[in-house]
Amino acid sequence: MNFIISSSTLLKNLQRISGVLNSSNSLPILDNFLFELEGGELTISASDLENTMKTSVKPDESKEDGRVAIPAKLLLDTLKNFSDQPLAFQIDASNFGIEISSDYGKYKLVGQNANDFPKSPELENSSNLNINGEIIATAIDKTLFASGNDELRPVMSGVFCQFSSEKLTFVATDAHKLVRYGRTDATASKSTDFILPKKPLNLLKQNLSGDEEVTLSYNETTVRFSFGSIELTSRLIDGKYPNYEAVIPLENPNVLTVDRMSFLNSIKRVSIFSNKTTHQVKLKVAGSELSISAEDLDFSNEAKERLTCNYAGDDMEIGFNSKFLLEMLNHISTQEVILEMSEPNKAGILLPSSNDNESEDILMLVMPVMIR
């Protein structure tokens, strides 16, 4: 197995899939990239058993098809220290010895048997959906931050996808905050739902550049994303997602409209003085004035600011975790935001004030912190 390839092309392709690699693996073979040369095309794979990511590239020259596993860290560290130049790879199939020749000299390392590398799962009885990469990238950006990290509740550690012939809906929650993001400009031929884990979503976010077409293939256990020269296959989270619709309050008579950046910056400043355990900020609304305050009784710290706002409803005082509010406000892009509330002990609904994209629908929910 011999081939010649540009060092920068190879490095770029390896970096795209290297996010799959874990720092500690139970199987030593998973510390390697799998190189497969066939018919003048080089396919490189990385896996952690749950996720497999592949990229394809055409070498400048190639002869003798073959397969070998090459130590990932050693190869990446080497490539990072080359200026762009052709590298010649020679692999001895009998002992998996690898010799890399550059303008500077020769480098020898030992690979492993490619047959030990885990096979990418086959998708049997799968359904397919073509979707614009921008829709997936935006959906991940708007929802992933709200997913949980509780190992005892794995279903809440991913993003719940609900596909129908009318719209695609993406939901994430950690039981304290919830985001529901919908798009009507993309639909599926039949209704389905599944839970996507965090890691492949982060890998997609890093690799999707925008307008490319993504082919999404899925069955009951596995999902595959194919776009450009990249293919990402991932195991789905097994389990039933909680009934998120039940926690979204329908009657919210108290409606606050406020400038998003003023609200965001005010909470940032005031929350510095909040209790370090609860991160609580208190919102008090009366007429057209919004008062934002925080205190830490343990250290006698307190802060209070006032903002002008538009408000329709009864005078109200409600507490929220400032970290959750800041995260949500950072993931809304409109100039003004709407906060809908019913009672101080019920969830608040955060919405963009206007919709730049008519096919987009976003709702964010945040649970209150009881005011002491």
Q: For the residues 76-100, what does the mean pLDDT come to?
A: 95
Q: Across all residues in the chain, what is the average pLDDT?
A: 94
Fold exhibited by the domain 2-116: DNA Polymerase III; Chain A, domain 2 (3.10.150)
Domain boundaries, the chain: 2-116, 127-168+184-244, 248-366
Q: Classify strands 310-312 and 32-38 as parallel, antiparallel or unpaired.
A: unpaired
* DSSP string of 246-305, one letter each residue: GGS-S---EEEEEEHHHHHHHHHHHHTTS-TTT-EEEEEEETTEEEEEEEETTTTEEEEE
Cα–Cα distances in Å, from 53 out to 37, 131, 312?
16, 19, 51
Query: What element of type H or E holds 23?
Result: none
pLDDT at 371: 77
Distance of CA 365 to the CA centre of its chain: 19
Tens digits of residue pLDDT in 11-22 = 999 999 999 999
Assign 273 a pLDDT band (cuts: 50, 70, 90). very high
Assign 372 a pLDDT band (cuts: 50, 70, 90). low
* Contact between residue 238 and residue 204 where contact means Cβ atoms under 8 Å apart: no
Tens digits of residue pLDDT in 150-200 = 888 999 999 999 999 999 999 999 999 999 999 999 899 889 999 999 999
Contacts of 4 (CB under 8 A, 6+ apart): 59, 60, 61, 62, 86, 87, 88, 89
Question: Cα–Cα distance between 200 and 52 in angstroms, integer?
Answer: 9
pLDDT at 49: 94
The partner residues of 67 in beta bridges, in order of sequence, read 36
Q: What percent of the chain has pLDDT over 90?
A: 89
Tens digits of residue pLDDT in 97-117 = 999 999 999 999 999 999 999
Place of tokens 């997602």: 241
> What does the DSSP 8-state code read for residue 328?
H
Q: For the residues 93-97, what does the mean pLDDT come to?
A: 94
Half-sphere exposure of 200 (CA within 13 A, CB side): 29
Write the CATH number of the domain with boundaries 248-366.
3.10.150.10
The partner residues of 362 in beta bridges, in order of sequence, read 181
Write the CATH number of the domain with boundaries 127-168+184-244.
3.10.150.10
CATH topology agreement for domains 127-168+184-244 and 248-366? yes
Give the burial string for 89-110 (b: 16+ CB within 10 Å, else e). Answer: bbbeeeebebebeeeeeeeeee
Contacts of 96 (CB under 8 A, 6+ apart): 68, 69, 110, 111, 112, 113
Residue 80 has pLDDT above 80, yes or no: yes
pLDDT at 277: 92
Sheet of 97-101, strands arranged across: 61-63, 2-6, 86-92, 97-101, 106-110
Give the 3-state DSSP-derived string for 101-165, with helices as H, strands as E and coil as C: ECCCCEEEEECECHHHCCCCCCCCCCEEEEEEHHHHHHHHHHHHHHCCCCCCCHHHHCEEEEECC
Six token digits for residue 29:
């073979």
Crossing angle of helices 72-79 and 7-17, rounded to 10°:
140
Report the 10 Å Cβ neighbour count for 131: 21
> What does the DSSP 8-state code read for residue 368?
B
Question: Cα–Cα distance between 146 and 263 in angstroms, integer?
Answer: 20
